[in-house]
Structure formats: structure tokens, C-alpha cells
């Protein structure tokens, strides 16, 4: 009878081992399922973030394009009165030279006022120091009248808004 008890105990031990193994396998399966669910959640968060970024990029591009159009319309709106005055001056064929000259000076002043309002500054005057970042030297002369690297003549003024150069001044530089 003892042998029967030993056999039963061995069988019981084997069953217990199998139950433990099954429990471990079940726990492992649960852990795998838990990790898969977490991975799926992370994947969804990543996809949402990527979609949000893409939407942000598209929205900012649309806003930038709209702002560009608004700026162009504003600048053209500022210049249109000057164009009207040029058309009036061109149509006035009966004006004498002095009247015509006075009209052109008034139009030039109108342009200068618009530039001032927009924060545009002209630069590049004879006698200024040559700066290769702001001036485009197209000619050099040897002259006693000017110092070293000084602008002798200006062929085209430069323009800037703040520190941003719109157009470099085209100049002749004395050596």
C-alpha cells in the first residue's frame, strides 16, 4: 500500500508541476498580451502625433502663403496712388518743363514717404566707407581725393529694412 501512496504522490507531484508550468505559461501569455496592448497604445499615440504634426505643417504653410498675399496686397495698395500720379503726369501734355519737374519731385517725395512708412532706408553715399556686405563694387579708381576703401561714386543706391539688406548699393570704390 505504501507503494501506491508513493506512486500517487509522484503523480501528484507531476500534476503540481504541470499546474505550475501551466500557471507560468498563462502568466507569460497574460504578460505578452499586456505588452502587445501597450505597444498598440504607443503605436496609436505615435500615429496621432505624426498626424498632428502633418496638420500643423500644412496649416502653417497655408498661413504663411496667406500672409505673403496680404503683405503684397498692402504694399501694392501703398504704391497705387503713386502710379495714379505718374499716369496724371504722363497724360498732362500741356504742362511746361518747370511744372512737369515739380510734379516729378512731388511723386518722388510720395515714394520716399511710403518707404519711410514701411521702414525702408536708402544707403550708399559718396564718402561712406566701403562694406562688401552692403555694397557691390563694380569699379575701382586711384584717387587722392578719397581715402582707402571709400565710396567715390554711387551708380545705384542700396536699400534695407532694419538689418535686412533688400538691395546692395552699386558703387565705385577708391583705392
> Three-state SS for 3?
helix
pTM above 0.85, yes or no: no
Find cell 511710403 and name the residue: 114
Distance separating the N- and C-terminal Cα atoms of the chain? 123
Torsion of CA 7, 12, 15, 17, to 10 degrees: -100
CA 132 to mean position of chain CA atoms? 25
pLDDT at 1: 47
pLDDT digits (tens, 9 = 90+) for 116-146: 999 999 999 999 999 999 999 999 998 888 8
Report the distance separating Cα 1 and Cα 4, nearest Å: 5
Structural domains in the chain plus CATH codes = 121-175 (2.30.22.10)
Q: Which residues of the chain are modeled with pLDDT < 70? A: 1-8
Amino acid at each position: 500500500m505504501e507503494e501506491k501512496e508513493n506512486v500517487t504522490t509522484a503523480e501528484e507531484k507531476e500534476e503540481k508541476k504541470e499546474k505550475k508550468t501551466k500557471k507560468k505559461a498563462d502568466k507569460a501569455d497574460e504578460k505578452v498580451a499586456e505588452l502587445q496592448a501597450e505597444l498598440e497604445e504607443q503605436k496609436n499615440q505615435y500615429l496621432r502625433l505624426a498626424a498632428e504634426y502633418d496638420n500643423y505643417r500644412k496649416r502653417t504653410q497655408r498661413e504663411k502663403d496667406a500672409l505673403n498675399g496680404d503683405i503684397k496686397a498692402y504694399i501694392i495698395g501703398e504704391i497705387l496712388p503713386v502710379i495714379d500720379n505718374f499716369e496724371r503726369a504722363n497724360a498732362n501734355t500741356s504742362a511746361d518743363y518747370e511744372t512737369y519737374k515739380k510734379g516729378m519731385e512731388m511723386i518722388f517725395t510720395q515714394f520716399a514717404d511710403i518707404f519711410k512708412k514701411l521702414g525702408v532706408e536708402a544707403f550708399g553715399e559718396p564718402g561712406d566707407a566701403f562694406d562688401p556686405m552692403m555694397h557691390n563694387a563694380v569699379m575701382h579708381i586711384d584717387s587722392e581725393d578719397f581715402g582707402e576703401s571709400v565710396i567715390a561714386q554711387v551708380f545705384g543706391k542700396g536699400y534695407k529694412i532694419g538689418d535686412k539688406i533688400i538691395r546692395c548699393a552699386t558703387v565705385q570704390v577708391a583705392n
